[in-house]
Amino acid sequence: MLTLSNKANSMPASPIRKLVPFAEAAKKRGVKVYHLNIGQPDIASPKEALDAVKNATPSLIPYPHSAGIETYREGLAKYYQGININVTADEINITTGGSEALQIALAITCNPDDEVIVMEPFYTNYNSFALQNDVILKPVATTIENGFALPDMAEIEKRITPKTKGIIICNPGNPTGTLYTKESLVKLGEIAIKHKIFIYSDEVYREFCYTDEPHFSCMHLKGLEQNVILLDSVSKRYSLCGVRIGAIVSKNKEVMKAVLKYAQARLCSPAYGQIAAEGALNTPKEYFQAVRSEYIQRRDFTIEALNKMEGVFSPKPMGAFYTIAKLPVDDSDKFAQWLLEDFEYEKQTVMVAPAAGFYATPGKGTNEVRIAYVLKIDDLKAAMKCLEVALKQYPGRTI
């Protein structure tokens, strides 16, 4: 009898992508779909990245080094040094996106049935990566009422057992847009030292911080040099999602030796992706200033529009380009599908990501959605109008 593995049968469908067939069907009916469901920026990639690819004209494209192209790693080390993360090229391994970075990080640090603490709600693929590596995620609840801030450290310490290997931090956060304070991260570092566990620090949204203070990295924590594994990506920073280039960064030599062995097993990350990413290192500061200003405008409009709708609440995120919104609906999965199958307003509708898929605790997030404010203001205006009308017409409205 032909059967699939238990892992294959247990792998959850992406709450971000599982509604794609319904969106495609809506488009075939002539309905314009505003995609607020996925973090795909519409900001143009930097010219420097595109030119690097255009100007690369080799007669042969060989395998890059398993750790990544040396000149790129050297350039990336200078980028980190410029934000006071003092690492060398030997402390960087280029990965196939930030996703592979976390997959490898869990694989090299965890045995089957080991536990990793994560703040809930969390990026849904953390669950998938844990399942692939037989790791058990131990969620710590955060709440929409206080903007999903890190909870009291005692709540985190309650989850620590002899099986705990580390804590995953996403800062700024996906799906919440939460930016953790320096003070809370310092306390988190104290826990990591006390219990001798890792901090897996997902910082792919580092450039998207909307405070006057610079981003505080877990790599800035004193005395945590051996504990912190930095997970990074060029996808969002440079609007280069499709090149699939990320990085693992750590000053822990044993960690990096193990990372290289896993990197060798998959041979290498894409050559042209690394060429684009290396070119992107020359992106001028003006690019980021303009992008930051644009996202602040989009955020402010979206949050104001959401909170004007009857029964809707969304905190004001201080990073990334996402927010979680609480809606007056019976079930956000049903609502998201209804938007695509049964609703339209002036031949338009909205696609959102149901938030239950970002929680590990059953029953949580069932009246919440993640919204990515990655569209131009005019499109966001049309999308918010669609959502407002839809909430009034939805049969499962709760108020």
For domain 6-44+286-393, the question of CATH label 3.90.1150.10 is answered with yes
pLDDT at 12 exceeding the cut of 90: no
DSSP sequence for 329-344 = BS-HHHHHHHHHHT--
Chain position carrying tokens 């004001």 = 316
For domain 47-280, the question of CATH label 3.40.640.10 is answered with yes
Quick one: 78 exposed, middle or buried, by C-beta within 10 A (0-12, 13-18, 19+)?
exposed
Q: What is the pLDDT of residue 13?
A: 76
Chain position carrying tokens 């989850």 = 159
Residue 18 confidence class, pLDDT cut points 50, 70, 90: confident
pLDDT at 346 exceeding the cut of 80: yes
Residue 11 confidence class, pLDDT cut points 50, 70, 90: confident
Residue 357 has what DSSP assignment?
A: G
The string of pLDDT tens digits covering residues 347-380 is 999 999 999 999 999 999 999 999 999 999 999 9
Please list the alpha-helical segments (H only) found in 82-210.
97-109, 125-132, 153-157, 182-195
pLDDT at 75 exceeding the cut of 80: yes
Backbone angles phi, psi at 173, to 5 degrees: -95, 145
Quick one: 9 exposed, middle or buried, by C-beta within 10 A (0-12, 13-18, 19+)?
exposed
Mean pLDDT of the region 160-184:
97
**Domain residue ranges in the chain:** 6-44+286-393, 47-280
Q: What is the pLDDT of residue 375?
A: 96
How far is CA 150 from each of CA 120, 173, 221, rounded to the nearest angstrom?
10, 11, 17
Name the percent of the chain lying above pLDDT 70. 99
pLDDT at 132 exceeding the cut of 90: yes
Mean pLDDT of the region 220-233:
97
Q: What is the pLDDT of residue 24?
A: 96
pLDDT at 148 exceeding the cut of 90: yes
Assign residue 73 a region (left: φ > 0; alpha: ψ between -120 and 50; beta: otherwise).
alpha
pLDDT mean across residues, the chain: 96
Rounded to whole angstroms, how far apart are CA atoms 12 and 4? 14
- CB count in 10 Å sphere of residue 183: 10
Mean pLDDT of the region 29-37:
97
Residues 6+ apart with CB under 8 A from 147: 176, 178, 315, 316, 317, 318
pLDDT at 15 exceeding the cut of 80: no
Mean pLDDT of the region 25-40:
95
Residue 231 confidence class, pLDDT cut points 50, 70, 90: very high
Q: What is the pLDDT of residue 40?
A: 87
Rounded to whole angstroms, how far apart are CA atoms 71 and 79? 12
Residue 49 confidence class, pLDDT cut points 50, 70, 90: very high
Mean pLDDT of the region 43-50:
97
Rounded to whole angstroms, how far apart are CA atoms 319 and 323? 9
* Fold matches, 6-44+286-393 and 47-280: no
**SS3 call for 115:** strand
CA neighbor of 251 nearest in space, from 297, 205, 220, 211 = 220
Rounded to whole angstroms, how far apart are CA atoms 300 and 312? 16
Residue 156 confidence class, pLDDT cut points 50, 70, 90: very high
